[in-house]
Amino acid sequence: MSLVYSEDDRMLADTAEEFLLSKSPVAAQRTLRDSKSALNFDNDVWQQMVELGWTAITFPEKLGGLEFGYKGLGAVFESMGKHLTASPLLSSVVLCGSLLEQLANDSQLEWLNHIISGEKRLALAIDEKARHEPFNFQTEAVDVADGFVLSGKKVMVMDGLSADGWVVSAKHKEGVSLFIVPFSEDVIVKRTNLVDSRNYAELTFNELTLPVNALLGNPGDSIDAINHSLDLGRLCLSSEILGASKALFDMTVEYLKTREQFGVKIGTFQALQHRAANCYVELELAQSCVIAALSNADDTKSDLGLSASLAKCQVSKAADLITREAIQMHGGIGVTDELDIGLYLKRIRVAQMSLGDADFHQARYGELKNKM
């Protein structure tokens, strides 16, 4: 298992860094927030990401992908975290794309082509509770003559607004199943505004009829695929949180070196030095977990769950510590909207809660470890 980025990964990371710095810096996210855009991400930037090949990175060549692996994609997510870039890369490509890759039949693979080409977006509708509990849901699919009838309500659907369709989990008489629901006026889509000003939707299905070919994979046989795709999402999200935390930490260390009180730089106070050093320690530990999990996704898929939960838990905890310290060490100016600290705090808070927070992943890690 390789715990360092390869030459190729680093080249990808450099391109990403260069691109995002010029096309999607933090200031652009602030503008996006203040303009109350309907989409909550910049579609031009998104199309350029597609042109850069980011939507194809992980998929095999025979499906139109670059077969480049998750370590490379992780580097891209880290960069997006650093610049707070909002995009449907996670929702459409990582989560829905990987489900299609695992489960789609030939005609359903059309969706994957469209996702890679950026023509269409899918969003994953799985959560129904306030906290992430992927297999605790009520949404139900009932067999009818020429298809299914779907009823239920999904929350926290990332990038679910203005999507071309949704991948929806539902109870079926055979067990947990997945359905592709193309956009339709019959689906009630409600906007959810969260502190990170990104795109979230609540979806309600009132006895929506779906054709036979809406079913993704075999009925009652999608738990493993869901877990696998969620884990891939968690890795990418962990990389994003890591990137955001590093940026925030760098800003804070810089401030310790410039702000003066009592005639000295505040970074000379040992009380602050040790805490900053501690943040560094936690970041480094988290980074190892993230890169190990990315590596795992590329090499062996066997214990992806364990390493994904380890990464998401450790990085979320490190991120919480760093946001808290960043604010505190900036003093009064740290709680103003003028600085970017608040933007990082808000994004990190939502990201660490999405797809399972530290407590969720700690518990899951324990369960998986027990089974080994």
Partner 1 sequence: MVDLEEFRIQVREWLEDNCPESLRTPTPDGELIWGGKTPNFTFDDQRLWFERMRDKNWFCPTWAKEYGGAGLSSKENSVLESEMRKLKCRPPQINLGIWMLGPVLLKHGTEQQKQQFLKPMARGEVRWCQGFSEPNAGSDLASLRTSAQDMGDHYLVNGSKIWTSYGDKSDFMYALVRTDPAAPKHQGISLLLLDMHSDGVKTAPIHLISGKSSFCEVFFDNVKVPKDNLVGELNGGWQLAKELLQHERSAMSKFGEFQLPTHFDLMSLFNDYMPAPHTPSEQSLFYKAVEADMQEHAYNLTVQRLTQEMQAGINNFGLMSIMKLVHTEQEIIKFELLLDAMGYRALGWEDNNFTEQEQAINRAWLNSFSQAIAGGSSEVQLNIIAKRVLQLPENKGAQT
Ligand X SMILES: Cc1cc2nc3c(=O)[nH]c(=O)nc-3n(C[C@H](O)[C@H](O)[C@H](O)COP(=O)(O)OP(=O)(O)OC[C@H]3O[C@@H](n4cnc5c(N)ncnc54)[C@H](O)[C@@H]3O)c2cc1C
- Residues with Cβ within 8 Å of 130's Cβ and at least 6 positions away in sequence, in order, are 155
Cα end-to-end distance, the chain, whole Å: 19
Report the residue number, 81 or 217, with the smaller CB distance to partner 1. Answer: 81
Helix axes 304-330 and 223-258, enclosed angle (nearest 10): 30
Which one, of 288, 359, 347, 320, lies nearest residue 80 by Cα? 347
Q: Is 237 in the site for partner 1 (CB under 8 A)?
A: no
Among residues 142, 195, 212, 277, the one that binds partner 1 under rule CB under 8 A:
195
- 345: its two tokens: 């705090």
Nearest residue to the partner ligand X, using Cβ:
331
Q: Does 137 bind partner 1 (CB under 8 A)?
A: no
Q: What angle do CA 316, 89, 78 make, to 5 degrees?
A: 45
Q: Which of 17, 190, 280, 303 binds partner 1 (CB under 8 A)?
A: 190
Task: Indicate the SS3 state at residue 323.
Answer: helix
Residues numbered 264-303 forming contacts with ligand X, rule: CB under 6 A = 266, 269, 271-272
| Phi, psi torsion values for 142, nearest 5 degrees | -110, 135
Q: How far is residue 112's CA from residue 115's CA, in Å, rounded to a whole number?
A: 5
Stretch that binds ligand X, among 117-125, 199-207, 235-243, 327-335 (CB under 6 A): 327-335
Binding string to partner 1 for residues 24 to 63, with x set by CB under 8 A, is what? ----------------------------------------
Our CB check for partner 1 shows the closer of 211 and 366 to be 366
Q: Residue 90 and residue 202: Cα distance in Å, rounded?
A: 18
Residues 6+ apart with CB under 8 A from 68: 8, 12, 57, 58
Closest among 130, 115, 242, 225 to 166, alpha carbons compared: 115
Give the residue from 59, 58, 49 showing the smallest Cα distance to 15.
Answer: 49
Pairing label, strands 175-182, 165-172: antiparallel
**Interaction partner, residue 202 (partner 1, ligand X, none; CB < 5-8 Å by kind):** partner 1
336 near ligand X, judged by CB under 6 A? no
- Residue closer to ligand X by CB (options 183, 269) is 269
Q: Is 364 in the site for partner 1 (CB under 8 A)?
A: yes
Give the nearest distance from C-beta 334 to ligand X in angstroms: 8
Report, in Å, the least distance between residue 179 CB and partner 1: 23
Per-residue x/- track, 242-281, partner 1 (CB under 8 A)? ------------------xxxxx---xx-xx---------
7 near partner 1, rule: CB under 8 A? no
> Residue written as tokens 């009380």?
271
What residue has token string 């899918």? 122
| Interface with partner 1 in residues 74-133 (CB under 8 A) | 129-133
Does 326 sit near ligand X (CB under 6 A)?
Answer: no
Residue with tokens 């993230």: 290
Q: How many residues bind ligand X (CB under 6 A)?
A: 12
Which one of 202, 231, 240, 282 is in contact with partner 1 (CB under 8 A)?
Answer: 202
Query: Which of the stretches 162-170, 176-184, 295-303, 322-330 binds partner 1 when contact is defined by CB under 8 A?
Result: 322-330
Cβ closer to ligand X: 332 or 372? 332
The binding site for ligand X (CB under 6 A) comprises: 259, 261-262, 266, 269, 271-272, 328-329, 331-332, 335
